[in-house]
Structure 1
């Protein structure tokens, strides 16, 4: 038998000997994948059934799909529009034709923008103090900023309302000195104050974690180059903590867009935020289709905010060469 034949035969035998080991590892990996998929499947199914399906039904109902599981709500609801063809926009047309809805939409966007900006400004300010100076001032500010995390929203909203109401603590203290304090209870300003209080802890945690991750070498290099504190904040700390800040802004904006408790307790009767409008249209007016349409409007706005977050993450990953 030639040397080439022996070599080929030996190679085949070697391959046959190695194949079972490789097949066993592949089977083990397949079992691990099946186990992992089986563990992840139950929560995914629960979310799909109890969150995803109702959301899809509600979106379809807002566009006039009144059959199937939406038939009961369509039968008992007022001013329900049924699609002649695929969909109908009559429910949305009714909403946007109402001056009150436009006013409430404007108030919601205004509260969201102001709350997000003020919350980020406070969080960045406290995080900068902790990063550059520390000491008891930073510890006190960070402690105060985390306090709202342990106070229920209902209690905080009621406390803020009574604190700034016409007969509340602030007015009483000012009255002792013959002064007339402003009333923020049942106003948009009161909603902004309460919203900042509720959303500050998360924004502060994200801002602090992002700035604490900035290397000391970068800050020292900027100082050696003659950069002022403001320049260090603007050119080093904030850009390096960009992703955590974007996350904080995104979650703050989305949370304020759909909030109910804060504007319900502290806000005026008109204008109201869309979260309160959804409850009002569904319970008080018995117009579930219009309530679903308002929810879709909130979802579209929130999706726009989330798109900014996705874009920021993609841009960061592209700059780092990860995509």
Structure 2
């Protein structure tokens, strides 16, 4: 008498040993599911390809060509601009740093580089301080005045930069509003038009709205319970702000700082309309070297110098985003 149960093939089925689980049969739907998943990935890749190709064609390729041209590669698509431009350094097989050497031994370029960095640092610091001040006032004081102040800080967002630049230029000119008011009291207000002071004022004016929106939203997201707990522990207002509010809103503040610095670093309209002829910021210098001086290779060198500085600032932005994502993952894991 046989005890084994015969399958369709005629072989007896062996029972699984005691304490050992029987192997689970392969799911017949796993292979189609994998095929569906691969098809979905391929479809997503095809849908993402047009913008990627567009960016690579109209941004990536010109960047590579420009970098090669700055190193002296004047053939191919760079041939025409190399023929037209003046003071072009050509590579004899190996890359040449002649254009970079020209610029870093040029006192005008070095002065404009220093001015660009100083204006960026000062303007960014002023913007962040104003944005944090408005955000703190809105967070702790509230009321109609705080809302009006935050609304006024966003007004420049709706005024074109060209119009704002001309208005600032006229406001601080020799016959402008401030000098006219000061003259009524026998005072002599300084003329700030076509100086770096107006460039800083214009940069702060154009950069403040976005920074205010970002910083204010970050400060508003700080839990009120944390502030109340710090107050109950005897912390002063300054201690609450320095130890609780600012650290918890640190990521939005860092992001606002990096965006502001990069925007001011590469600005053109404000320094072009309100700044002096020399020294001026590199955004204006690039245009002058490319069009007025007909030295495209030197203009491209300036562009890559600005790009290198902006990349350092962008690294801080990437770090802030990475930290924010890590904190969010930690909060989800706790939940």
Shorter-chain TM-score tier: over 0.9
The one of 201, 211, 231 aligned to 2:209: 201
1:24 corresponds in structure 2 to: 32
The CA deviation at 1:15 is 3.5
Alignment partner, residue 9 of structure 2: none
SS at match of 1:272: coil
| Shift of residue 181, structure 1, vs aligned partner | 1.2
TM-align CA RMSD: 1.9
Partner of 1:155 in structure 2?
163
1:15 is aligned to 2:17: no
Distance in 2 (alpha carbons) for counterparts of 1:92 and 1:134:
53
Residue 124 of structure 2 is aligned with which of 116, 119, 139?
A: 116
Cα contact 2:271–2:284 (8 A) shared by 1: yes
Equivalent of residue 197 in structure 2, options 186, 189, 203:
189
Q: Aligned-pair distance for 1:88?
A: 0.9
After TM superposition, give the deviation of residue 321 of structure 1 in Å. 7.0
Name the structure 2 match of 1:87.
95
> TM-score, normalized by length of structure 2?
0.90
Q: Give distance in 1, aligned partners of 2:230 and 2:248.
A: 13
Structural mapping, 1:96-245, within 5 Å: 96-245=104-253
Rounded Cα–Cα distance in structure 2 between residues aligned with 1:186 and 1:2: 100
Q: How does 1:273-292 map to 2 (within 5 A)?
A: 273-292=281-300
- Aligned position for 2:319: 311
TM-score, structure 1 as length reference: 0.93
Structure 1 residue 311 displacement after superposition: 3.2
Contact 2:85 2:296 in 1 (8 A): yes
Q: Deviations over 1:144-176 (max 9, x none)?
A: 111011111111111111111111121122222
Cα shift at 1:23? 2.6
The unaligned stretches of length 5 or more in structure 2 are: 6-11, 17-21, 331-335
Quickly say closer, same or farther: Cα 1:177–1:30, change in 2 above 3 A.
same
Q: Deviations over 1:118-161 (max 9, x none)?
A: 00000000000111111112101110111011111111111111
CA distance in 1, matches of 2:140, 2:32: 55
Q: Which has the higher Rg, Structure 1 or Structure 2?
A: 2
SS of the aligned residue for 1:5 comes to coil
Match of 2:81 in 1: 73
Please give the secondary structure, in 2, of the residue aligned with 1:15. coil
**Aligned pairs (5 A) from 1:44-83:** 44-83=52-91
Structure 1: segments with no counterpart, 5+ residues: none
CA contact (8 A) 2:255 2:320 kept: no
| Cross-structure match for 1:262 | 270
CA distance 1:7–1:163, shift in 2 (3 Å): farther
CA distance in 2, matches of 1:163, 1:184: 9
Provide, for residues 296-321 of structure 1, a one-character-per-residue CA deviation record: whole Å limited to 9, x for no partner: 10001111111222234445556777
Question: Alignment partner of 1:209: what SS?
Answer: helix
The more displaced of 116-125 and 131-140 is: 131-140
